[in-house]
């Protein structure tokens, strides 16, 4: 058995957390490949080392005073190193970092040092080999991740390595400069390493016991999802559920490697298992509910629209020309509605309306803003009568007006448009009918 274990920032924020991590790794011999984040927050008021590094670099590269921030970053590592009684000194590393900051090595370089240094500390503490991610994770000249070059190099490098730490979040471009993934990107590194070594499992250790059925800011203490498929997860992450970086699914998915989300502070909890497909029945008809606010709809009406070949294409090309991607497109006989992100649409609003008039000569174009989309996702919904009926009657009882309904042909995802103000009420009503009522 081979497992890749990725630990998030809060799992490695202090010496105390590092000790928990070591216990977890030592309790299972197959946990041989470790991917660390940078030290995260130790409490609500604390700062993440990554954010401190960005601030420090910005100050240094703009000629402002940066020494104090650099000292604070240093002391985060010293606290960990001393707390673990390690014989390790990072002075020369910090000296080089400072020189590179002053030479304007870039914000990505700056941010990546959090993971780099934490990787050195973790390797020293665990007695694992250290491989700098810059040597094995590659980006092309446009800054896009180069999956194939990375996979080849990693496979080769890890062939004869027993136990290794590879820092998360960054890699290098062909010119040797450092490039990071987007924030939270250590999850992606873990997934890439899991693919390269053909892992049996990718364990992603964080500070929650798995994916929750819905947002805990809306439902107090929601249930944990035991098993979820990649596809369900993709929908839920896209619609706002955030435990795992949404791009972290792709490398392991290619190999059918399951991901297990686990809690460093409660290692006895099983967490959430993310799999390609499963015979395990979901506990409830639905697997999860997620959603986002901040959409607007563009409602287009034209008599005899249904008979006009190419109408939809012409309308969509107006959005394409303005670089706006659309989310949903419900249509009627003589009406068509496009849902877009309000923030993306606002600055192009008038030119899009004018463009639609020119392209299809509609009778009317109306806008409605401040809308939210709620996604109800679940493989158990498929071929199951009455799910939509239950959702809609729950919303009717909660006095939520439904603006839009969209069920893809896959039948495991229903998207509902409501007013922003009804967003929380809608999620509560759906959670109650499917989870609370089924307990
Ligand atoms: N440290 C980086 C961040 O704060 C990357 C990560 O933690 O995955 O976004």
At 9 the pLDDT is: 97
Domain edges within the chain: 3-275, 281-438
**Strand pairing partners for 180?**
170
Which structure tokens are listed for 181?
A: 């993934």
Q: Which residues does residue 406 pair with via DSSP β-bridges, in sequence order?
A: 415
Contact 295, 327 (CB under 8 A): yes
Distance 237 CA to ligand 1 centre (A): 17
Q: Which structure tokens are listed for 172?
A: 């290098």
Q: Is the shortest distance between the CB of 167 and ligand 1 below 6 Å?
A: no
Query: Which residue, 131, 238, 243, is CA-closest to 193?
Result: 131
Residue 36 Cβ < 6 Å to ligand 1: no
| Ligand 1 atom closest to 189 (CA) | 8
Q: How far does residue 375's CA lie from ligand 1's centre (Å)?
A: 27
Show Cβ contacts of residue 115 under 8 Å, excluding neighbours closer than 6 positions.
Answer: 36, 37, 38, 133, 167, 168, 169, 170, 186
Alpha carbons 45 and 265: distance in angstroms, whole number: 19
Residues paired with residue 416 on neighbouring β-strands, in sequence order: 374, 405
Shared fold status for 3-275 and 281-438 = no
Q: Across the chain, which distance is largest between two alpha carbons, in Å?
A: 78
Sign of CA dihedral 304, 310, 312, 318: negative
Between the CA of 6 and the centroid of ligand 1 the distance, in Å, is: 12
pLDDT for 306 equals 85
* Ligand 1 centroid to residue 156 C-alpha, Å: 26
Q: What is the pLDDT of residue 285?
A: 87
Decide: 37 in ligand 1 pocket, CB within 6 A: yes
Listed in sequence order, the residues at least 6 apart from 136 whose beta carbon sits closer than 8 Å to its beta carbon are 150, 153, 154, 157, 166, 171
Paired tokens of 120: 């050195």
Mutational pocket test of ligand 1: of 48, 109, 169, the residue with most ligand atoms within 8 Å of the beta carbon: 169
Find the 188 Cα to ligand 1 centroid distance in Å: 10
pLDDT at residue 62, rounded to an integer: 92
What are the φ/ψ torsions at residue 227 (nearest 5 degrees)? -135, 135
Angle (CA) 344-349-351 rounded to 5° is 120
Q: Is the CB of 297 under 6 A from ligand 1?
A: no
Atom 6 (ligand 1) nearest CA: 184
- The per-residue pLDDT for 61 is 92
Write down the residue that tokens 């792709």 correspond to: 250
CATH architecture label of 3-275: 3-Layer(aba) Sandwich (3.40)
3-state SS assignment for residue 2: coil
Q: Is 184 near ligand 1, meaning CB less than 6 Å away?
A: yes
Q: Are strands 201-206 and 178-180 parallel, antiparallel or unpaired?
A: unpaired
Looking at residue 234, its pLDDT comes to: 86
Predicted confidence at residue 86, as pLDDT, reads: 97
State residue 15's pLDDT score: 98
What's residue 412's pLDDT? 86
**Which of 11, 114, 186, 204 to mutate to test ligand 1, by most ligand atoms within 8 A of the CB atom?**
186
The answer to whether 21 touches 47, Cβ cutoff 8 Å, is no
Q: How far is the CA of 272 from the centre of ligand 1 (A)?
A: 21
Q: Which conformational region is residue 222 in: left (phi greater than 0), alpha (psi within -120 to 50 degrees), or beta?
A: beta
Q: Kindly list the distances between the CA atom of residue 198 and the CA atoms of 1, 28, 123, 253, in Å, as whole numbers in the listed order.
A: 10, 18, 22, 11
What are the DSSP E strand ranges found in 281-412?
A: 288-301, 326-328, 335-341, 364-377, 404-407
Q: Could you list the residues known to form a binding site for substrate, using ranges.
A: 50, 115
Rounded to whole angstroms, how far apart are CA atoms 60 and 67? 8
Across the chain, which has 439 residues, the per-10-residue mean pLDDT values are 97 98 98 98 96 98 95 98 97 97 96 98 98 98 96 96 97 97 97 97 95 92 93 85 86 94 97 90 88 96 92 96 93 93 95 96 96 93 85 96 86 92 97 88
* CATH assignment of 281-438, among 3.30.1380.10, 3.40.50.720, 3.30.2130.10, 3.20.20.100: 3.30.2130.10
The pair of three-digit structure tokens given for residue 68, joined into one six-digit string: 């104090």
Beta carbons within 8 Å of 204's beta carbon, 6+ residues apart: 6, 8, 187, 190, 244, 248, 259, 260, 261, 262
- List, in order, residues 6 or more apart from 392 with CB less than 8 Å away: 402
Q: Which atom of ligand 1 is nearest to the CA of 169?
A: 5
221, two tokens = 């203490």
Residue 183 CA: which ligand 1 atom is closest?
Answer: 9
pLDDT of residue 220: 93
Task: Look up the pTM and report it.
Answer: 0.86
Distance separating the N- and C-terminal Cα atoms of the chain: 36
Q: What are the CA-CA distances from residue 311 to residues 91, 209, 306 (Å)?
A: 65, 48, 8
Contacts 24+ apart (CB under 8 A), 149-152: 150/192, 150/196, 151/192, 151/195, 151/196
């Amino acid at each position: 058995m081979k497992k890749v274990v990725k630990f998030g920032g809060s799992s490695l924020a202090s010496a105390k957390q590092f000790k928990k991590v070591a216990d977890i790794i030592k309790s299972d011999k197959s946990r041989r490949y470790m991917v660390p984040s940078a030290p995260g927050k130790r409490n609500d008021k604390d700062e993440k080392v990554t954010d401190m590094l960005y601030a420090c670099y910005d100050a240094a590269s703009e000629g402002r005073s940066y020494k104090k921030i650099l000292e604070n970053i240093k002391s985060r590592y010293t606290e960990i190193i001393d707390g673990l009684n390690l014989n390790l000194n990072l002075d020369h590393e910090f000296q080089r970092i400072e020189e590179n900051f002053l030479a304007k090595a870039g914000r990505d370089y700056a941010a990546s040092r959090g993971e780099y240094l934490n990787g050195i500390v973790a390797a020293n503490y665990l007695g694992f080999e250290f491989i700098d991610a810059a040597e094995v994770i590659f980006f092309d000249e446009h800054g896009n991740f180069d999956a194939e070059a990375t996979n080849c190099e990693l496979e080769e490098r890890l062939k004869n390595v027993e136990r290794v730490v590879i820092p998360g979040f960054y890699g290098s471009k062909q010119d040797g400069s450092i490039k990071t993934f987007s924030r939270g990107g250590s999850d992606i590194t873990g997934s890439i390493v899991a693919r390269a070594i053909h892992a049996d499992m990718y364990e992603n250790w964080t500070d929650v016991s798995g994916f929750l059925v819905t947002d805990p800011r809306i439902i107090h203490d929601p249930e944990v999802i035991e098993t979820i498929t990649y596809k369900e997860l993709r929908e839920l992450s896209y619609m706002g559920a955030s435990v795992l970086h949404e791009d972290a699914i792709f490398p392991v998915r290619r190999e059918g490697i399951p991901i297990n989300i686990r809690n460093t502070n409660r290692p006895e909890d099983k967490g959430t298992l993310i799999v390609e497909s499963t015979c395990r029945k979901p506990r409830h008809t639905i697997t999860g509910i997620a959603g986002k606010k901040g959409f607007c709809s563009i409602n287009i009406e034209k008599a005899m629209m249904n008979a006009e070949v190419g109408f939809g294409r012409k309308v969509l090309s107006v959005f394409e020309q303005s670089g706006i991607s659309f989310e949903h497109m419900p249509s009627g006989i003589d009406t068509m509605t496009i849902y877009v992100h309000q923030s993306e649409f606002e600055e192009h609003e008038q030119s899009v309306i004018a463009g639609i008039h020119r392209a299809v000569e509609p009778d009317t174009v109306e806008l409605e803003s401040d809308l939210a989309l709620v996604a109800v996702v679940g493989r158990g919904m498929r071929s199951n009568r009455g799910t939509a009926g239950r959702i809609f009657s729950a919303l009717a009882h909660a006095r939520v007006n439904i603006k839009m309904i969209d069920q893809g042909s896959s039948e495991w995802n229903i998207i509902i448009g409501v007013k922003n103000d009804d967003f929380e009420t809608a999620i509560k009503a759906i959670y109650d009918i499917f989870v609370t009522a089924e307990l």
